[in-house]
Amino acid sequence: MARFGLSAGIAIATLFAGVLASGCATTEDPHEGGFVSGAVNLTTGRYQERVQEKESELERVTDEQRQLMQEADGIRQERARLDQALKDAATRLGKLEASLDERRRALETARHLKAEDEETLRNLEAKLVAVRAHLNDMHSRDLPVSKLRWEAKELREELDEMDKMVELLGGAAM
């Protein structure tokens, strides 16, 4: 019976330890809880699951950061292209001013301005001042790329119209 008593005692102690362990509050967070929580989480594989969850989250955030960096690079490149387009427009405007001055001198020299040519010349001079002011205003503001794209398109259209007017004026003077 001593044998039975020893076996029964071990069984009771094991059962008691199990009841005691299951009665303790456990948590999945390794920073909380104690030895029992650690033992339970280690044996159930919950710690490994947490590690995998954290690694997956890190990978997702890293991918998201990489994607945002690529988008930012694309926006910087587009802004550089648009800035160059504005510089080109300023150069083109300067050439138009020079061409207009040349046409004005030719018309003044000819001294036979028609009323229509004088009106075209006045319209061109007014447009020239307005476009120069618009271009200066665009350079002084830090516009978003979408607004800059639209403004550059509008500016190109204005310059195209002015080119046609200068050509018409030049043909009238010759």
pLDDT digits (tens, 9 = 90+) for 13-71: 565 555 455 545 555 555 566 666 666 666 777 778 888 999 999 999 999 999 999 99
- The dotted CATH code for 77-173 is 1.20.1440
Q: What is the pLDDT of residue 59?
A: 96
Confidence of residue 76 (pLDDT cuts 50, 70, 90): very high
Domain regions of the chain by residue span:
77-173
pLDDT digits (tens, 9 = 90+) for 107-127: 777 666 576 777 788 888 888
Q: What is the pTM of this model?
A: 0.47
Q: What is the pLDDT of residue 174?
A: 44
Q: Are 142 and 82 in contact (CB under 8 A)?
A: no
* pLDDT at 1 exceeding the cut of 50: no
DSSP the chain: -HHHHHHHHHHHHHHHHHHHHHHS---S-TTSS-HHHHHHHHHHTHHHHHHHHHHHHHHHHHHHHHHHHHHHHHHHHHHHHHHHHHHHHHHHHHHHHHHHHHHHHHHHHH----HHHHHHHHHHHHHHHHHHHHHHHHHHS---HHHHHHHHHHHHHHHHHHHHHHHHHHHHH-
DSSP-derived letter for residue 45 is T
